Amino acid sequence: MKAHCNTSLKPFHTFGLDVHAKEIIAAQSTEDFLAFWRDDAYKMLPKLIVGEGSNLLFCQDFEGLVVLNRLKGISVSETDTHWHLHVAGGENWHELVRWTVEQNMPGLENLALIPGLVGSAPIQNIGAYGVELNDRCEYVDVLHLDTGNIQRLSAHECAFGYRDSIFKQSLKNGYVIVAVGLQLAKAWEPVLGYGALSDLAMQNVVCAQAIFNKVCEIRRAKLPDPYLLGNAGSFFKNPVVVASLGNKIKEEYPDMPAYPAGDHQMKLAAGWLIEKAGLKGHKLGGAAVHDKQALVLINAGNASAQDVVQLAKHVVETVYQSFGVELEHEVRFIGATEETSLEAICLR
């Protein structure tokens, strides 16, 4: 266990906002997690477990203990049909993807360059370019902080949904993801259905390395590097609406991206809606809608937490007024003592 003397959270979340915690500790083993959870000095404090903070918005100073997941280790076993990876929650996700491609174990290449740690991936059920984590997940190991027991949940038990999982519901508090099990089929088939990857389908032979490289190229061109320009990636979920509303908007805007999403439903592109609402590049204080990818809100320079919150509120209200579509934030909002939401903050 490593305690940080400086309580600034600026280095520990990718928005880079000037917020603080009461105390920051790095946990390097499951024993570390249990030690701080049971320590009388911390028992009454609010607690928040953080990976790389790549999907967090600290809305104000956190009046408790922030614990950094720094569990490490990767092991691989195999059967005739699959490689089975057991990956500690504190491993960097993109570096894991890079490593699997280099080891000729394809299957994760579409998920390259997604920021964050492996332990955070199941919470959001991360996904990109036609692949979601649940497509490759075999199990998730969860430490129950009250009992000290580690429980293995099958992918089915994780209740994965679109940017959702049991870890945002009943297992939201009092648990930490210590490892993720992934299964990669040896009979690999490239996933090239996403528009920007379809060019690769024209090639006679497509390898995982080529997909990895292309995904990295696309993401770097569209998304700002959080180490250069503070952000938390895609700020809003792509909304799922009733088909009648989607078709009504599409009548006026035939070029609008839209995809079937179950019975009488349609998934729309949040970034397109934000851009069409005239918000691309819009600034509020030190926060802004990114001028290349409207789905991303950025710290354009010394933004305060309030700047980002107010900008998010303005985006939601403007898109609703323009299209009748209510956006939901994908980024997790963290209040003074617990996770909150844009709606809850605006009601205060």
Q: What is the domain-level CATH number for residue 9?
A: 3.30.43.10
Q: Total domain count for the chain? A: 3
In sequence order, the 6+-apart residues with CB closer than 8 A to the CB of 12 are 24, 50, 52, 53, 66, 68
For residues 63 and 82, membership in a common domain is answered with no
Q: Are residues 275 and 327 in the same domain?
A: yes
Query: Per-residue pLDDT tens for 152-190?
Result: 999 999 999 988 999 999 998 899 999 999 999 999 999
Q: Is 163 a catalytic site residue? A: yes
Catalytic residue among 52, 109, 132, 330: 330
Instruction: Measure CA 312 to chain center.
Output: 17
Do residue 190 and residue 167 come from a single domain?
yes
Is-catalytic flag, 234?
yes
The CATH number given to whatever domain includes residue 136 is 3.30.465.10
Q: Which of 163, 165, 219, 332 is catalytic?
A: 163
- List the pLDDT tens digit at each of the 348 positions of the chain: 566 666 999 999 999 999 999 999 999 999 999 998 888 888 889 999 999 999 999 999 999 999 999 999 999 999 999 999 999 999 999 999 999 999 999 999 999 999 999 999 999 999 999 999 999 999 999 999 999 999 999 999 999 998 899 999 999 889 999 999 999 999 999 999 877 788 887 776 789 999 999 999 999 988 898 888 999 999 999 999 999 999 999 999 999 999 888 889 999 999 999 999 999 999 999 999 999 999 999 999 899 999 999 999 999 999 999 999 999 999 999 999 999 999 998 876
Residues 95 and 58 in one domain: no
Show the tokens assigned to 173: 């508090």
- The 3-class SS string of 21-66 reads EEEEEEECCHHHHHHHHHCCCCCCCCEEEECCCCCEEECCCEEEEE
From 47, 69, 91, give the residue that closes a domain. Answer: 69
* Domain extent for 213: 74-221
Which of residues 162, 191, 221 is at a domain's end? 221
Tell me the whole-structure pTM to 2 decimals.
Answer: 0.88
β partners of residue 76: 85
Same domain, 87 and 179: yes
Of the candidates 54, 120, 165, 234, the residue annotated as catalytic is: 234
Q: What is the CATH number of the domain that holds 328?
A: 3.90.78.10
